[in-house]
């Protein structure tokens, strides 16, 4: 049983997102959304989370869909916090927590 076209696309984009996150961790010590690698992680993770909703071996809503929605909420929340450049350090901590938690949830 092989992967579908959607499964292949999902896997390739997910691997690219993981590599981008690792590159950002090495270069910046965090996933930095202001950098190209951080932005690649953000976009790749959003695409991977959305395409994961179309993948289901057993049909119906399952725990994999819940995890995908959780990761999607985390990265979108981190992006919103990143855009709020009001000098609020608490927002930066939550942004990094959301990004790190989304990375370790992949």
pLDDT of residue 24: 96
Reading the block at residue 104, the tokens are 């370790």
pLDDT of residue 85: 74
Sequence-distant (≥ 6) Cβ neighbours of residue 7 within 8 angstroms: 55
What is the Cα gyration radius of the chain? 14
pLDDT of residue 1: 60
Sequence-distant (≥ 6) Cβ neighbours of residue 58 within 8 angstroms: none
Task: Give the whole-angstrom CA distance, residue 50 versus residue 69.
Answer: 8
pLDDT of residue 32: 93
| Residue 71 CB coordination number (10 Å) | 21
pLDDT digits (tens, 9 = 90+) for 89-103: 888 899 999 999 999
Reading the block at residue 23, the tokens are 């590159």
pLDDT of residue 25: 95
* pTM, full prediction: 0.90
Q: What residues in the chain have per-residue pLDDT under 50?
A: none
96 three-state secondary structure: helix
pLDDT of residue 62: 84
């Amino acid at each position: 049983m092989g992967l579908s076209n959607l499964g292949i696309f999902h896997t390739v984009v997910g691997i690219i997102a993981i590599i981008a996150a690792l590159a950002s961790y090495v270069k910046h010590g965090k996933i930095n959304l202001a950098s190209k690698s951080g932005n690649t992680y953000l976009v790749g993770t959003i695409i991977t989370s959305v395409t994961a909703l179309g993948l289901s071996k057993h049909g119906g809503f399952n725990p994999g869909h819940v995890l995908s929605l959780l990761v999607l909420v985390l990265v979108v929340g981190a992006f919103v916090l990143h855009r709020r450049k009001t000098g609020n350090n608490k927002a930066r901590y939550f942004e990094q927590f959301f990004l790190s938690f989304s990375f370790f949830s992949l």
